[in-house]
Structure 1
Amino acid sequence: MSTDRFTRACARVVTGVLAADSAFHVYWATGATWPAADDRALSLAVMGFEVPFTTRILVPLAVVLALAATSVHIRHTRGRAGFVGGLTHLVTLGVAAAAAAQIPLRAAWALGFGADTGTVFYWLNLFVYLPLCAALSYDAYRVATDGMTGKALARTVIAVPAVLTLLLAVTAHGYRPSFGPPAPSGLDSHYAETDLARFHYLREGSGPPVVLLPGGTAWAFAWQPQLEALSADHTVYVVDLPGQGYTELRDADFAYDLPAMDTAIGAFLDAVGLRTTALAGHSWSGGWALSYAQNNPERVSRLVLLSSSGLDERDSFSWEMLKYPLVGELTVNLGYTREALVASVPDLFEHKERATPAVAEAMWAPLVVEENRRSVYLLERGLDWGRTEPRLPATAQPALILWGDADSVLPVEQAARFAALMPNDETHVLPGCGHAITLDCPGEVTGLMRTFLA
């Protein structure tokens, strides 16, 4: 096969793949989800995480892919001459660079880093997406550099990865979504002023203190049922830590790791005058509560861990990918939209009727704050549960461990591992409960907590 025939074949491969991908996006924009059963399954198979497959997203992508396919065809048939030739040449180079940029990440997923090997996405990435990216990057580069020699070719070889890296960095660190100010909480808010942060918290009741920490990207709203019920016997505090809710971070050097979260919890307890307290956390904040209790045993009388982090295990794929530089920033900046997050809230519930639009909007509201969004990927990178798991056998506080048997974020099997490692635990697996356990199963959670804390 001559060089010309081979280049023609490369052009046909790139054009065909891009055109087919565009056609699929147009097809899915009609509401069809084939070959998957529904939108969620389609998103997980194609992207590896959940994104809304809506017309507003799919149609622009289909147009971009169609224009890219057309540009590659024109670049091959007309060359680089003239304005159109120069433009299509740049687009073809862009196709090559975009495909090449995916290869290292997809290769890492294929090796099992940051991807669950039991998913459809893993096998599609291994046998379809990764080979396609490799083929497209080479074929598009071959078409783009057809007829080029000497200095022009050398400049292209150097410029493409440099420009691509620059664009990714600018998008990841320079682009910020345009959101309005955070919605008011609608609750009886209090604020504790410290050098580290202006802590937003709720407080109700009287009696022995209990401090509740919202999980991950959640905020004080997520503990509302327990705040109301436990306040009959306790002084209950629900505090947003840095990166959560309506707390305003003031320490520009805050690290978003376990030592930093320990410092934040201690700063809040000092600010509201609590020397010793029962401490409860959900998901990520369960791990924060555990870490604080291990490092400050004299200040924590009892622990309540709900679907808790703290074991030295990898997170799910959609969270693990946030650890990669640029990828985490791009995912949060471009993917954490109101539509995407509100649509994902029901997946945290088994009682879908409790995942109301009002609940979804309340969970989304503080994520319009840039610092809260930034904290998502910084926490995923900074939290080292290798600090907490080895110390579980020496964690002496009485601990209540609650888990939903339908948890879609942290596998329920982890509850048994906590129980096996902690010397003074009471563990319950709640049937028919998802990851948002405080809101999904408020009666069961509140009853067990009241008994444990009595």
Structure 2
Amino acid sequence: MNKLWTMICLSSAFLFNVSATSATDRWAEFSAPPAMPAAVRSGKAPVNGIEMYYAIYGSGEGTPILMIHGGLGYADIWANQVADLSRDHTVIVADSRGHGRSTRTDAPYAYDLMAADYVALLDYLQIGKVALVGWSDGGIIGLDIAMKHPERLTKLFAHAANTTTTGVIPGGFEAKTFLAYIDHCKAVYGRISPTANQYEAFATQMNEMWSSQPNWSDDDLKAIHVPTVIALGDHDEAIDRKHTEHIAQMVPGAKLVILKDVSHFAMLQDPQGYTAAIRAFLEMR
């Protein structure tokens, strides 16, 4: 992760749109998400010593969907999916600890701490169970919740998650798409964070977590009994496909989904296809 930290600290000067020559090369693109639709409700929840930004969209009668973004990111990365899913579902998004509009403390970052934040958010919102969609760090948080708080989930969609640090592809964060994502998130942080001038301190805390976490055993994964989809883009820059396949083999009954012609940023590269995969997941029994 030290190379990633170097990329975080230095301005990479890459454009937010990395051009591709054809539809099948969309995996080589990173585009900023569009604006979010109007929220039914938004605010900041006092959880575990922080003020956690959240927003709720739609008013479907079924189980709410909780969508958790990746590291360095923010809730609005899900704009395309929220616009579609909120037509017939209640969708909850939030900014993880220290990300986006949420505050942080000096406590060391840990996936179980961030998972506890999301469980506390559900308590604050008086929501019992959700179908959880998590991407990258959000997928790891989802797996943590599935292990320790399975009563809060009806099912889990974990996209581009690793369960040990060895699941990360060496040098993957140097891809142009990833550099563009880092630049984008840094710029957004400067606009919306309550500690806009503390990005380096925030990124340092994150890097310290990434250097050693997650570190789950196969037995930890075998203890998950929430219906689970393990997903990965077929051109993911950061997460090793064999690692993803191993996760799917270890989680009992898990379904492996390989998303076509997309990378780590599938929700932006193929919004319709990604949303269709989530809808198929929601219908899964």
Which residue in 2 is equivalent to 1:436?
A: 265
Query: For 2:244 and 2:48, how far apart are their aligned partners in 1?
Result: 37
1:246 to 79, 93, 101: 101
More strand by share: 2
Structure showing greater relative contact order (alpha-carbon pairs closer than 8 Å, 6 or more residues apart): 2
C-alpha contact (below 8 Å) 1:256/1:382 kept by paired residues: no
Q: Which runs of 5+ in 1 are unaligned?
A: 1-43, 55-184, 320-340, 350-354
- The answer to whether the aligner puts 1:191 opposite 2:14 as a matched pair is no
SS at the partner of 2:216? helix
Which residue in 1 is equivalent to 2:113?
A: 260
The TM-score, its normalising length taken from structure 2, stands at: 0.75
Aligned length: 246
Deviation at 1:306?
0.7
More helix by share: 1
C-alpha contact (below 8 Å) 1:306/1:437 kept by paired residues: no
Matches for 1:113-192 after TM superposition, within 5 Å: 187=36, 188=39, 189-192=42-45
Letter in 2 for 1:385: N
Deviation at 1:296?
0.8
Matches for 1:300-311 after TM superposition, within 5 Å: 300-311=153-164
- The answer to whether the aligner puts 1:205 opposite 2:58 as a matched pair is yes
C-alpha contact (below 8 Å) 1:209/1:278 kept by paired residues: yes
Query: For 2:12 and 2:56, how far apart are their aligned partners in 1?
Result: 40
Letter in 2 for 1:451: A
Query: Structure 2 vs 1, CA of residues 406 and 363 (structure 1 numbering), >3 Å: closer, same or farther?
Result: farther
SS at the partner of 1:255? coil
Larger-gyration structure (1/2): 1
Matches for 1:201-240 after TM superposition, within 5 Å: 201-207=54-60, 208-240=63-95
SS at the partner of 1:347? helix
Query: For 1:437 and 1:198, how far apart are their aligned partners in 2?
Result: 29
> Per-residue CA shift, 1:377-409, capped at 9, x if unaligned?
23214523226x432122111112221111111
Which residue in 1 is equivalent to 2:279?
A: 450
Deviation at 1:52?
6.5
The TM-score, its normalising length taken from structure 1, stands at: 0.48
Matches for 1:18-29 after TM superposition, within 5 Å: none
Matches for 1:3-402 after TM superposition, within 5 Å: 187=36, 188=39, 189-207=42-60, 208-249=63-104, 251-252=105-106, 254-311=107-164, 313=166, 315-317=168-170, 346-348=176-178, 361=184, 364-366=187-189, 368-370=196-198, 372-381=202-211, 383-386=213-216, 389-402=218-231
C-alpha contact (below 8 Å) 2:108/2:205 kept by paired residues: no
Query: For 2:67 and 2:254, how far apart are their aligned partners in 1?
Result: 18
Query: For 2:183 and 2:12, how far apart are their aligned partners in 1?
Result: 18
Query: For 1:201 and 1:53, how far apart are their aligned partners in 2?
Result: 30
Query: For 2:134 and 2:245, how far apart are their aligned partners in 1?
Result: 18
Letter in 1 for 2:237: S
Q: Which runs of 5+ in 2 are unaligned?
A: 14-33, 191-195
> Per-residue CA shift, 1:276-300, capped at 9, x if unaligned?
1111211122111101110111111
